Amino acid sequence: RGLPGRAGVGRAPVRGSPRGRPPARRCPQRDPHGAPLPYTLGVRGNPYLRGPRLAPAVTSPALFVLRGIPYLSKHRADRVKRLGDFLNRESFDLALLEEVWSEQDFQYLRQKLLPAYPAAHYFRRTWLFSGIIGSGLCVFSKHPIQEFTQHVFTLNGYPYMIHHGDWFCGKAVGLLVLRLGGLVLNAYVTHLHAEYNRQKDIYLAHRVAQAWELAQFIHHTSKKADVVLLCGDLNLHPKDLGFRLLKEWTGLQDAYLETRDFKGPEEGCTMVPQNCYVNRQELEQFPLGIRIDYVLYKAVSGLYIFCKTLRTTTGHEPHGGSPLSDHEALMATLCVRHSPPQHNPSPTHAERSPLISVLREAWTELDQGMAQGRWWATIAGYVIGLGLLLLALLCALAAGGEIREVAVLLWTPSVGLVLGAGAFYLFHVQEAKGLCRARAELQHVLGRAREAQDLGSESQPAGLLGQQEVDRAEEQ
């Protein structure tokens, strides 16, 4: 404690000690977690939690932060090597990477970064078909990882949209639990479905459902955490429905909006036209670029967290050379300090209104997506029926000997039609059920929010906006 090069708290002088005699040793006052007060976390005695930082993700299939699709991504091996050198030079506390689609690239980085980042984990694929490539998420940490798990989103696009590839990647969220100076840190890394056409976005309902699943996953797994950190490529603009839903339900703060010192492209854009790996046609409507990668955070009552600095790359590798990815890297310095527990008053009508409004919007979008999925399933059902009738007719013609050769030739494509329509039907039925489940959860939460608004309840709104924080404050 208090030694140079170690995170800790120095001894405070003891008042009332006789002059000329060293003060008697006393244990510093400790909080309910057993850590000295005030909290001072960090590296090399730094009184800040330096880092959880989102580093440029180096390998990926066509969405990302450092396109790392084997055999397809440009200069993949060189970018992976330079990413390892960059992480070693910067020496972050926590590096969260995305679109590392090749496990060989992860193993290469694992060996290269082992001295600086002794703890690492790669979130592997979990499903047989959807997600067969893997989530592409991995993490490197200076601190021991206490626990980890992942959740694959229920909806991940369409399997027949092969050229997009999201369904085969299996977008997910990974969770790490770390202990830093007596604090429990839940770090989440995620990657949501890509947006390919903003005017005619056929994946909008899927992204809203993923944002809701992500918010629910964080809400239910972070109740014992002191600090919550979310980093990832959300593929959502700051004013998009999915992003507003995520922020309103979880209470997470946006590092770009909260930071005291930002260095990077204008408006915090994380995809900029200056980057040679970016398709400039996709940014025609956004001359400055777009911001779709985020560092979000929050702390429980009794702790004060803020973003001291936030840096992003600006279309090229920070130390010179070509970019590490088509997305810019985010690097944050988060500061966590102890503060006296404060009484959280019940949210007012004005404070609850944004949550209710965004819940209504999300419910409407999921309802439309569910109706669309059911419509496609109905069309597929008709095609299956027609295909079966055609097969029955062909069997009758072949048995009667009339135009037998033609019947035999049409048999194979007819069987293929029935099987293809059957797979199409099953997929869209599953899509409609997934959207129906998310809509039911939203409807339940919306009902509780309306009851709290109408009755002016104090306990229900607190539960809606983070009951775990109220409970922790009462314990303290």
> How do residues 440-475 score in pLDDT, each as one tens digit?
999 999 999 888 877 764 444 444 444 445 445 445
Separation between Cα atoms, residue 155 and residue 170, nearest integer Å: 9
**Whether residue 295 has pLDDT greater than 70:** yes
**Three-class secondary structure of residue 357 per DSSP:** helix
Separation between Cα atoms, residue 18 and residue 230, nearest integer Å: 50
Separation between Cα atoms, residue 360 and residue 198, nearest integer Å: 21
> How do residues 230-264 score in pLDDT, each as one tens digit?
999 999 999 999 999 999 999 999 999 999 899 99
Distance, C-alpha 175 to centroid of its chain: 10
Among 51-55, 180-184, 459-463, the range scoring the smallest mean pLDDT is 51-55
Among 101-105, 154-158, 245-249, 419-423, the range scoring the smallest mean pLDDT is 101-105
**Whether residue 67 has pLDDT greater than 60:** no
> How do residues 312-331 score in pLDDT, each as one tens digit?
888 776 666 778 888 888 99
Separation between Cα atoms, residue 269 and residue 228, nearest integer Å: 23
- pLDDT given at position 436: 97
Separation between Cα atoms, residue 176 and residue 189, nearest integer Å: 9
**Whether residue 380 has pLDDT greater than 80:** yes
Contact in structure between 54 and 295 (CB atoms under 8 Å): yes
Contact in structure between 346 and 298 (CB atoms under 8 Å): no
Contact in structure between 161 and 136 (CB atoms under 8 Å): no
| 178 beta partners | 145, 185
Polymer length in residues for the chain: 476
Among 33-37, 66-70, 297-301, the range scoring the smallest mean pLDDT is 33-37
Please name the amino acid found at residue 39. Answer: Y
- pLDDT given at position 34: 42
Q: Which CATH architecture has domain 57-341?
A: 4-Layer Sandwich (3.60)
- Name the pLDDT band for 54 (thresholds 50, 70, 90): very low
Contact in structure between 187 and 52 (CB atoms under 8 Å): yes
Separation between Cα atoms, residue 194 and residue 64, nearest integer Å: 9
Name, in order, each residue with C-beta under 8 angstroms of 66's C-beta and a sequence gap of 6 or more. Answer: 56, 57, 58, 59, 60, 79, 80, 83, 97, 99, 324, 325, 326, 327
pTM of the model: 0.80
Residue in the block written with tokens 């709104």: 461
Contact in structure between 424 and 416 (CB atoms under 8 Å): no
> How do residues 125-153 score in pLDDT, each as one tens digit?
766 566 677 788 999 999 999 999 999 99
Q: Hey, which residues are catalytic here?
A: 327
Strands across the sheet with 94-97, in order?
A: 94-97, 138-141, 119-122
Please name the amino acid found at residue 345. Answer: P
Among 15-29, 152-166, 210-224, 287-301, the range scoring the smallest mean pLDDT is 15-29
> What does the domain layout of the chain look like in residue ranges?
57-341, 359-454
Q: Rounded to 5 degrees, what are φ and ψ at 422?
A: -65, -45
Residue in the block written with tokens 């994380």: 270
